[in-house]
Amino acid sequence: MNKLTVVPSSDLLKLSDLDKLKELSHAFSGASPTHAINLATDLEYKLKSRKDKEYSDKERDIIFSALCLDEFNNGLQLGHAVPSHAEAFAVDLSHQLQNQYQCTTPSKKSLAHMAALNYCRIFSIQRQIHNVSGNGRLTDLGIKYLTIMSKELDRAQRHYLTTIQALEIGLQPAIKLSIRTQTANIASQQAIQQVGEQVNVKGQ
């Protein structure tokens, strides 16, 4: 049986030591939002006082890390995930979806982002299929490639429709029901939430 070891109070970390540990944690944790913003701010301040105004690759990563914190507004990562010619469209579509479905929470905004991403994927995959099948001459390798891309196209379409349906459900008002039975049949694509004795149903 293991014995319990009692640590003397004098060996415990003092509050000042804990504060120092927190500072070290922020200094060495690149995943900290505060740390990312501080690095980018310091970099911009130093850039103003130096002759070379060009960013190095490491400095670009620092700026990119900070800007990604405002992803749902600037769409930086979304733009990098789609072809370059579709960057502006993808970000604008995400913003329009956020407005249309009244996305005020991070979860709803992320759904709008996902919908915009998969919508652009549909066009990108379709263009690749057209480039291969458009010449009229298909090899065995080309047929296998089209089979794979057709599955990817179906997957992108399903993902897009699923996110749109999730946004639609979130927009619909709750339906107040009074149920006085032990068994109730509810239609598909409906979410039930019970608060006390009141049951709220969302869905189509």
So what's the pLDDT on residue 109? 96
Mean pLDDT along residues 20-31: 61
Give the neighbor-by-neighbor strand order of the sheet with 175-177: 175-177, 198-203, 190-195
Phi-psi region of 203 (alpha: psi -120 to 50; beta: other; left: phi over 0): left
So what's the pLDDT on residue 192? 54
Task: Select from 154, 165, 151 the least CA-distant residue to 115.
Answer: 165
Per the CB < 8 A criterion, the answer to whether 125 and 94 are in contact is no
pLDDT digits (tens, 9 = 90+) for 29-80: 556 888 888 888 999 888 888 888 788 899 999 999 999 999 999 999 999 9
Question: Does residue 188 or residue 36 have the better pLDDT?
Answer: 36
3-state secondary structure at position 199: strand
Per the CB < 8 A criterion, the answer to whether 46 and 83 are in contact is no
Task: Select from 73, 109, 105, 107 the least CA-distant residue to 92.
Answer: 73
Question: Does residue 66 or residue 6 have the better pLDDT?
Answer: 66
Residue 55 tokens read as 């960013």
Q: What single letter denotes the amino acid at residue 103?
A: C
Delimit the domains of the chain by residue range.
13-74, 83-171
Mean pLDDT along residues 114-141: 91
Check pLDDT > 60 for residue 4.
no
